[in-house]
Amino acid sequence: MKPVSQVPRNGIVILIAVMMIFAAPKGPNYNGIRSMGMGNTTVAVTTDRTAIFHNPAGLGLLRDKVQISTRPLVFAIDGEFFDYLKLLDEYDEEIQDIEKIAGNEEFIDDISKRDGYWAGVQYLPEITVATKNLGFGIYSVWPIGLRIETGHLIPKLGFQGQRDLVFTWAVGIPLKHEANHFGVSLEYVQRSPLDERITTYSETFIYFEEASSSPLGVVGDLSQLQHGASFDIGFMHDLFPGFRLAYAVKDMFGVIGGQVVVPQLDLGCAYYVPPIEELAFLRSIIASFEITDLWGFEDKTGKYEQFGKKIHLGAEIDLKYVAMRGGVNQGYPTFGIGVMAGPVSLDYVYYTEETGYFAGQLKRTKHVLSLGLALNVAGRKAGGMNEESGDAEAGSGQESLAE
């Protein structure tokens, strides 16, 4: 074994770089309603206003008009979360009086069944303004994870979460060949991380009521504010009619809370079925495939993330006023439906993701509800594949808003 003084300097640099990757935080993650329904496919299908967050190259395919959209009511709720709240309400007296716990076998059994299981809720508001090759958007992710621990017959609550407020400026840069598109975005992030915390006996009485009435407020009370910024770049290539290849590198030169963020590479492709003129009610049919975070590592283990967790498949049928979506996210099915009535849109998504170390280990199911309002300022149409195929910004799902 070589003495420390004889270890090559480049080896030390590599070791430090690897340690930074393992310890580095991840950048903000925008989960669009449409993309979640389509198996969380993003980079090749977001040629609407959500290109601001997913792939700025898609801004080059917007029609020549201004799209203004806001979604003040977007909630993602774990399947077990309501069950937790119901349990806390049902056994309100037992939780506050330890003497009643000891003699209540039904309470002990119900608590034990849920011991150590994380459930949560997310609030996901957003607002965007976009036109061809230019966009600005703000979104926030306010999550909270809740866990019950039985302890020594004294139930405790566990909290975890990470609140992000993200401001994004995006620009699409025209290239010489019309079949190629490029874009750049800049993100400013305010992050309030909440590490896993288990309440003490006395804190349990305080927080269980707050978790029932205002679960998102717990994150703000227990977390610390951090600041950060990063760049994203994206490309789209229309290889032949109806088929698009796309890729994006996210969180380049990113720093949050003084820590370097590891960049994320997403690769994807999509096929847009040519419009059928005889079916006036059918706007578009899209099929997509994506590999997310190609070189990504696990946060906790520092090992390369299992490849099965990176695979995403999706499809969408847009019937102008109703859009149906389906897909496979990390091996689990997803489903979404969007209904449009003028400038108002209502969406529901059934979404499942993997929280374990490999696909199929520990799934987490969410029910997402969204109410949105959008206005489009009409302008002349832009050429390109989107016009021929009824592409996304021409109106797919919740993005197909009033003309």
Convert the pLDDT of each residue in 333-353 to its tens digit: 999 999 998 889 999 999 998
Domain presence at residue 9: no
**pLDDT higher than threshold 70 for residue 381:** no
Summarised one tens digit per residue, pLDDT across range 198-247 is: 665 556 555 556 655 555 555 555 567 889 999 999 999 999 999 999 99
Q: What is the CATH number of the domain that holds 304?
A: 2.40.160.40
Q: Pick from 376, 275, 375: which is nearest to 318 by CA?
A: 275
The H or E element that residue 109 is part of is helix 105-113
Separation of alpha carbons 276 and 297, rounded Å: 43
Q: How confident is the model at residue 255 (pLDDT cuts 50, 70, 90)?
A: very high
DSSP class of 183: E
Tell me which of 262 and 4 has the higher pLDDT: 262
Domain presence at residue 102: yes
Q: What percent of the chain has pLDDT over 90?
A: 36
**pLDDT higher than threshold 50 for residue 398:** no
Identify the domain containing residue 180 by its residue range.
Answer: 22-399
| Per-residue pLDDT at 15 | 37
Domain presence at residue 17: no
Q: Which of 7-11, 15-19, 86-90, 203-207 has the lowest mean pLDDT?
A: 15-19
**Side chain identity at residue 269, one-letter code:** C
Q: Give the DSSP letter string of 200-269.
A: -HHHHHHHHHHHHH-HHHHHHHH---EEEEEEEEEEEEEEETTEEEEEEEEEEEEEETTEEPPPEEEEEE
Average pLDDT in the 161-182 region? 90
Average pLDDT in the 286-303 region? 86
User: CA–CA distance from 364 to each of 76, 148, 149, 329, 375 (Å)?
Assistant: 12, 16, 19, 11, 34
Average pLDDT in the 379-389 region? 41
Sequence-distant (6+) residues with CB within 8 A of 391 are 47, 61, 272, 284, 385
**pLDDT higher than threshold 70 for residue 322:** yes
Domain presence at residue 285: yes
Average pLDDT in the 246-269 region? 92
| Report for 151-165, 268-282, 307-321: range of highest mean pLDDT | 307-321
Q: Pick from 227, 47, 68, 43: which is nearest to 137 by CA?
A: 68
Whether 218 contacts 105, CB under 8 Å: no
Residue 11 CA to chain centroid, in angstroms? 36
**How many distinct structural domains can be found in the chain?**
1
| Per-residue pLDDT at 379 | 52
Summarised one tens digit per residue, pLDDT across range 101-136 is: 666 677 667 766 665 555 667 778 899 999 999 999
Average pLDDT in the 27-38 region? 89
| Per-residue pLDDT at 232 | 96
**pLDDT higher than threshold 90 for residue 248:** yes
**Mean pLDDT score of the chain, rounded to an integer?**
77
Whether 303 contacts 309, CB under 8 Å: no
Find tokens 């034990």 and name the residue: 112
Query: What's the number of CA atoms in the CB half-sphere (13 Å) around residue 309?
Result: 19
β-partners of residue 329 are: 312, 332
Q: What are phi and psi of 104, to 5 degrees?
A: -110, 95
Q: Computed from CA positions of residues 337, 341, 342, 343, in that sequence, does the dihedral angle turn out positive or negative?
A: negative
| Per-residue pLDDT at 265 | 95
Average pLDDT in the 5-13 region? 43
Separation of alpha carbons 219 and 228, rounded Å: 19
The β-bridge relationship of strands 156-174 and 126-131 is unpaired
Cβ atoms within 10 A of the Cβ of 253, count? 10
Whether 26 contacts 261, CB under 8 Å: yes
Domain presence at residue 61: yes
Whether 75 contacts 124, CB under 8 Å: yes
Domain presence at residue 341: yes
Summarised one tens digit per residue, pLDDT across range 47-76 is: 888 999 999 999 998 876 888 899 888 888
Domain presence at residue 50: yes
Domain presence at residue 12: no
Average pLDDT in the 363-386 region? 70
Q: How confident is the model at residue 4 (pLDDT cuts 50, 70, 90)?
A: very low
**pLDDT higher than threshold 90 for residue 328:** yes
Average pLDDT in the 235-264 region? 92
Sequence-distant (6+) residues with CB within 8 A of 202 are none
Separation of alpha carbons 59 and 130, rounded Å: 8
Structure tokens at 21: 């990757």
Structure tokens at 171: 């620009």
